[in-house]
Amino acid sequence: MKGGNDWWRHAVVYQVYPRSFADSDGDGMGDIPGLISRLDYLADLGVDAIWVSPYYTSPLHDGGYDVADYRSIDTRLGTMDDVDALIAQAHARDIRILMDIVPNHTSSEHPWFRELLASEPGSPAWDRYVVREGTGPGRETPPNNWRSVFHGRGWSHVRTADGQPTGYWYLHLFDTTQPDLNWDNAEVHAEFRAILAFWFDRGIDGFRIDVAHGLVKEAGLPDFDYPATDTETPAMFDEDVAHAPFWDQDGVHAIYREWRAVADTYDPPRIFCGETWVPNAARMARYQRPDELHTSFNFIYLEAGWDAARMRTSIDETIANHAQVGAPPTWVLSNHDVVRHRTRMAPLDVDGTRDLDRGLRRARAATLFTLSLPGSMYIYQGEELGLPEVVDLPDAARQDPAWHRSGGTDGTRDGCRVPIPWSGDVASYGFGTGAASWLPQPADWAGLSVDAERGSTGSTLELYREALRIRRDAPSLGEGPLAWLDSADNVLAIRRSAPAGDVISVINLTDAVLHLPHAWGTEVLVASSEDVAVLTTGDDVALAIGPETAVWLGATS
């Protein structure tokens, strides 16, 4: 396959949230045959790989991140034959495929948790999960003060078959239906190594690791001194909360060394990308040491938002820390857990609503600039169409457990999971065979469908296609050195060099026109907006780019 064994060092990876991508059977839920039927679209878009969020057997209390069987496929999403076909068909198009592994917790419907419930305290089945006796009278107080990321307390009673509390509690950093596994247990280690091998043997190219920074808990499970500002819930990525006794413990690294050893026995070697919400680039790069994970998501850059200084700091720190461990950085602006970057970057109007036109303008510029950074890039389905976050979902439609556990105050995750529009004027816009979609789509998405944007000059889809095409062919993009060029405030400019020719990438985050130095030339490879003009002053020919615009320029070294 294209790219050789180092493909992941510079890949553009497209995240598929399978329930929301394409629905082949009209039940309103995307599925694997639907995904297969759209692989040509992904090949045409020009991605190197896809990461598919979980499709294992699951009660879907957390969108499949609650796995009841790691070796079978949820019947609503497809069959094992479908997955084999997906792997073969993706590979036939030179697209690698990453699955999603969820090792921090299982579903409460996993046979292991059922076995725990059916056996006596202290039996071996209990040791696979984090279970402790309660404290106080009747052992009615949880073992410590840890909270769930999805709000409320992080412990629930282990109950008898008839629903009586036993005095024992199980830990769930997420939903009550997601009991945390005990990574001090050898059987847990062995089982996950076997699951990895099971899927590697079927031909997948690697895994994205869910909550990769969370598996190991500090010995003794001490109370956590929650920051005073954090009134309700420990966001996984708050600077303070990142030091919690359940995140980023040194012990997790031993697990990834074990996993790396499994991946390295394959030819070609399989790869990992960790979901690591950690407070800084130095902690992050520890996961990319040569005998651990190949890459991790760089959420620090995602959180920099539309802010030149923060972007630049994050880029510098990321590159410096990754260089120390010999790993390529990754970049990501959207995924299925965060507000889509078109909406996130949109400035607030006076009336408090977001200006989504400017949000799109900014998102396009940010994406284009990010695609010129060294390393690999993750894009989330629908961002290539310029989809906004859906902020007005009816409460009854919402499925995010965080929404329900927070009493309707934390509503950020369903809005980026609305099924994507493919064609036509009315819902489900070609997502399925009829109108049904598990989350309702907005009435005004016809203009954002793949069919509407494909071939349409200036569309976001065409911008992504063009940028990916240029990136694929330009030896200076992807891995390699980055040099900052002098630029005005709120402008970032970099030079990416290769003997075959350099690329200069500039993003103007100001709301004024920016005149570029004439030394940078006028060879525009691609621009995020139409506002790019060649100005001639005397003998001087130079470019001017509009506000909130990014460009790539061809340059000589």
Active-site annotation, residues: 210, 275
Find which of ligand NOJ, Mg ion, none residue 316 binds, CB within 5 to 8 Å per kind.
none
CB of 29 to Mg ion, least distance (A): 4
As given in the structure block, the two tokens for residue 181 are 């596994």
Which C-beta is closer to Mg ion: that of 75 or that of 556? Answer: 75
Find which of Mg ion, ligand NOJ, none residue 31 binds, CB within 5 to 8 Å per kind.
Mg ion
Binding site for Mg ion (CB under 5 A): 23, 25, 27, 29, 31
DSSP 3-state assignment of 247?
coil
Which C-beta is closer to Mg ion: that of 78 or that of 214? Answer: 78
Check residue 67 for interaction with ligand NOJ (CB under 6 A). Answer: no
d(CA 373, CA 476): 10
CB of 302 to ligand NOJ, least distance (A): 13
Best CA proximity match to 12, nearest among 355, 327, 333: 333
Check residue 299 for interaction with ligand NOJ (CB under 6 A). Answer: no
CB of 259 to ligand NOJ, least distance (A): 18
Best CA proximity match to 56, nearest among 40, 38, 70, 42: 70
Check residue 82 for interaction with ligand NOJ (CB under 6 A). Answer: no
CB of 246 to ligand NOJ, least distance (A): 13
Best CA proximity match to 208, nearest among 376, 44, 88: 376
Check residue 211 for interaction with ligand NOJ (CB under 6 A). Answer: yes
Three-point CA angle 385, 18, 84, nearest 5°: 125
Find which of Mg ion, ligand NOJ, none residue 211 binds, CB within 5 to 8 Å per kind.
ligand NOJ
Which C-beta is closer to ligand NOJ: that of 175 or that of 548? Answer: 175
CB of 26 to Mg ion, least distance (A): 7
DSSP 3-state assignment of 372?
coil
Check residue 62 for interaction with ligand NOJ (CB under 6 A). Answer: yes
Burial of 451 (0-12, 13-18, 19+ CB in 10 A): middle
Burial of 345 (0-12, 13-18, 19+ CB in 10 A): buried
Find which of ligand NOJ, Mg ion, none residue 62 binds, CB within 5 to 8 Å per kind.
ligand NOJ
Which C-beta is closer to ligand NOJ: that of 413 or that of 495? Answer: 413
Residue 10 makes CB contacts below 8 A (sequence gap 6+) with 3, 328, 374, 375, 376, 477, 478, 479
CB of 58 to ligand NOJ, least distance (A): 11
Among 8, 55, 56, 65, binds ligand NOJ (CB under 6 A): 65
Q: How far is CA 48 from CA 14, 382, 469, 517, 545, in A?
A: 8, 17, 11, 34, 30
CB of 270 to ligand NOJ, least distance (A): 20
Site residue total, ligand NOJ (CB under 6 A)? 9
Find which of Mg ion, ligand NOJ, none residue 339 binds, CB within 5 to 8 Å per kind.
none
Residue 369 makes CB contacts below 8 A (sequence gap 6+) with 492, 505, 506, 507, 550
Contact 482, 373 (CB under 8 A): yes
Check residue 210 for interaction with ligand NOJ (CB under 6 A). Answer: yes
Check residue 248 for interaction with ligand NOJ (CB under 6 A). Answer: no
Q: What is the biggest distance separating any 2 CA atoms in the chain, rounded to whole angstroms?
A: 88
Contact 494, 372 (CB under 8 A): yes
Three-point CA angle 448, 306, 502, nearest 5°: 85
Find which of Mg ion, ligand NOJ, none residue 25 binds, CB within 5 to 8 Å per kind.
Mg ion
Check residue 102 for interaction with ligand NOJ (CB under 6 A). Answer: yes
- Contact residues: ligand NOJ, CB under 6 A: 62, 65, 102, 174, 210-211, 275, 336-337
